Amino acid sequence: MAGAAHCSLQAKRLLLDPKFEGYKLSLEPLACYQLGLDAAVAEVKLRDDQYTLDHMRAFGMYNYLHLDSWYQDNVYYVDQFGRVMNVSVTLDTALQKPREVFRLPTDLTAYDDRLCASIHFPSSTWVALSDGTGRLYLIKSGKRGNSASEKWEIVFNEELASPFIIAHSVSFVKSDVHSVAVLLLRVEKDELDIKGSGFHVTLEWLTIGERSKEGDHRYEVFKRRVLQGKSVPHYAAIEPSGDGLMIVSYKPFKFMHDEEDKSEESDDAKTTNEKKDPVYYWQQTEDVVTITVHIPQGITKDDIKVHFYPDNICVTLKDQPPVMEGKLYSSVDHESCTWIIREDKSLEISLIKKNEGPQWPELILGDTRGELIMDPSQCSEIAESLMHLTSEVMNPNPEKENPPCNAQELEECDAFLEDSASLCRFDGDTLKVTHVIHLGSNQYLFSVVVDPREMPCFCLRHDVDALLWQPHSDQPENMWEHVATFNALGYVQASKQDKKFMACAPDYSYAALCECLRRIFIYRQPTPLSTVLYNRKEGRQVGQVAKQLVTTLEANDPILGFQATSERLFVLTTKTLFLIKVNSGN
């Protein structure tokens, strides 16, 4: 990640509430409607050879319910007969049966190694669809959610090697050419990985564009790029312009180049890794810095030019470029500095420090061509000065007021398995990381599409809260904007050990999570009270309250899909689709 800009996420203080008092359990009933499915959802269970945590994250915890963010309250799923089924809600009390909008041409039951079918909506009239066998479809759908104008027509259909799921897709126009960029995710066997899990994760970034030949319009793969990493990304999304890619992952990803690039890269690596002898050596005491420079044959005393300045030095040999030149780490008494030629034909330069005592970590700022030589006495002094920072016992001085931090004192919900996750932005042309944010303990929670024309938002835990961030690829000065806060949600969700999916409303009015079976938890944003309520401990009136609601589904099948809109929650089980009315429409 050399050359990448190291950034940080700047939270908006106005969106934080340090006086948040917690959620009050509300017993208000939630209207819950259910639709029986004509055929079961096409669930694909993990095989015996899919045993790693990455397989579980990518495929075992897959969300089988797909929300069409371009059309409100429009969801899709694929059933066991390969039919893409749609539910479009306009009135909760008059729900229509799921309707078939497309049927996969492939007989899914004939494939033993298939993955779950996946759908993504790059625009209001385009659909990216995978059948789970390794085949990708680009479909022109017309205006979705309206049976009269909706007609799914395949415009691209190609086998792309091993099975994959669609992670993200975007539709854009450049130079009057329409293109669709699709991001495909695979977990593949890695024969070279002996010590690890034996698998790696690949993200294949395809750009499929329209090409016209003699009046024949067809879509072809224009560009193919592959990234590889050692963990399934929490978040991976292509920028709306198709120029870049953002990834949140525990372990870093890097682009895999073709053979020519690899050979060039290896040559560059060899050149870089060849160890070059230092141009000069230097030592120091409290008051003197001594520099030794090798003199090539044929160089006489008259060919050597040494110029001393209070903060700089310049050393040249004959007509060659300067051997040493630049700003010194600290000031010297330039009138007292000297140089001599020793018997072994080397140049020895003595610099008198202006400030005696402090050690110089480098001689010339930014110059790495020299090597510092430390004598044993200096090494032992440094080791002795650092001795107080190390100990072989947990608390060497128990009488001290502040003993060392003990990890066992942390609460379980404060412990993070992945404390080194990072957010990286890759450039599509240079294939290099341009921006990186080390997330540290800011645990990734979920992603949500607030505006389908923008990249998906991602939610991170910050202390006890959950903060929602909106990427802006076209705003370098404000690339990640803090748009909403869900108070204490970071702490609350950590206590739900059986949670499977998390989501929030696009208007930020509530957040929700579901367990593997039956139970749904909803956390509303604080709202003003219609009645007077007092805090008895502090004796003050409470102006607003945040409510927690819990609902239990009347089903014993596991939850396979979970999506939130501004008014409703959609919950998909094997044979039933549940609609929970959370907010009333305006």
| Position 405 in a domain | no
For residue 368, which of 463, 242, 282 has the smallest C-alpha distance?
282
Structurally, the chain folds into a number of domains equal to: 2
Higher pLDDT, 137 or 212: 137
- The pLDDT of residue 394: 56
CA distance 24 to 544: 11
Pairing of strands 499-504, 568-573: unpaired
Give yes or no: residues 148 and 190 share one domain: yes
Sign of CA dihedral 195, 197, 200, 201: negative
Q: Given 368, 402, 427, which residue is the final one in a domain?
A: 368
| Position 380 in a domain | no
Query: Is the distance from CB of 466 to CB of 489 less than 8 angstroms?
Result: yes
> In 41-85, which ranges are continuous DSSP H helix?
53-55
Q: H or E element: which one contains 462?
A: strand 457-462
Give yes or no: residues 216 and 67 share one domain: yes
| Position 52 in a domain | yes
| pLDDT higher than threshold 70 for residue 586 | no
Q: Given 328, 353, 368, which residue is the final one in a domain?
A: 368
Give yes or no: residues 290 and 247 share one domain: no
Give yes or no: residues 78 and 177 share one domain: yes
| Position 107 in a domain | yes
Give yes or no: residues 219 and 139 share one domain: yes
| Position 379 in a domain | no
What is the arithmetic mean of pLDDT over 542-559?
88
Give yes or no: residues 51 and 170 share one domain: yes
| pLDDT higher than threshold 80 for residue 205 | yes
The CATH number linked to 311 is 2.60.40.790
- Nearby residues of 440 by Cβ (< 8 Å), 6 or more positions away: 419, 420, 421
Pairing of strands 433-440, 5-6: parallel
Give the largest CA-CA distance in the chain: 101
> Tokens 């492939």 belong to which residue?
106
| pLDDT higher than threshold 70 for residue 476 | yes
- The pLDDT of residue 302: 86
Query: Is the distance from CB of 70 to CB of 121 less than 8 angstroms?
Result: yes
- The pLDDT of residue 443: 92
Give yes or no: residues 548 and 488 share one domain: yes
> In 348-414, which ranges are continuous DSSP H helix?
376-386
Q: Where are the beta strands (DSSP E) in 353-414?
A: 370-372
State the pTM of this model: 0.73
Task: Give me the domain span that covers residue 58.
Answer: 5-257+419-581
CA distance 69 to 421: 28
- The pLDDT of residue 136: 95
Beta-bridge partner residues of 35: 577
Q: Given 368, 384, 405, which residue is the final one in a domain?
A: 368
Give yes or no: residues 188 and 148 share one domain: yes
- The pLDDT of residue 433: 92
Strand order in the sheet with 83-88: 66-67, 74-78, 83-88, 99-103
What pLDDT, in 10s, does the model give residues 279-294?
889 998 888 999 999 8
The CATH number linked to 16 is 2.130.10.10
CA distance 47 to 564: 30
Give yes or no: residues 226 and 344 share one domain: no
What is residue 79's DSSP assignment?
A: B
| pLDDT higher than threshold 80 for residue 404 | no
Give yes or no: residues 433 and 562 share one domain: yes
- The pLDDT of residue 159: 92
| pLDDT higher than threshold 70 for residue 52 | yes
| pLDDT higher than threshold 80 for residue 148 | no
Strand order in the sheet with 559-564: 32-36, 576-581, 568-573, 559-564
| Position 30 in a domain | yes
| pLDDT higher than threshold 70 for residue 540 | no
- The pLDDT of residue 213: 73
What is the arithmetic mean of pLDDT over 232-239?
96
CA distance 501 to 482: 22
| Position 302 in a domain | yes
Give yes or no: residues 357 and 437 share one domain: no
| Position 245 in a domain | yes
- The pLDDT of residue 175: 85
For residue 62, which of 135, 115, 107 has the smallest C-alpha distance?
115
What pLDDT, in 10s, does the model give residues 100-127?
999 998 777 777 889 999 999 999 999 9
Give yes or no: residues 143 and 204 share one domain: yes
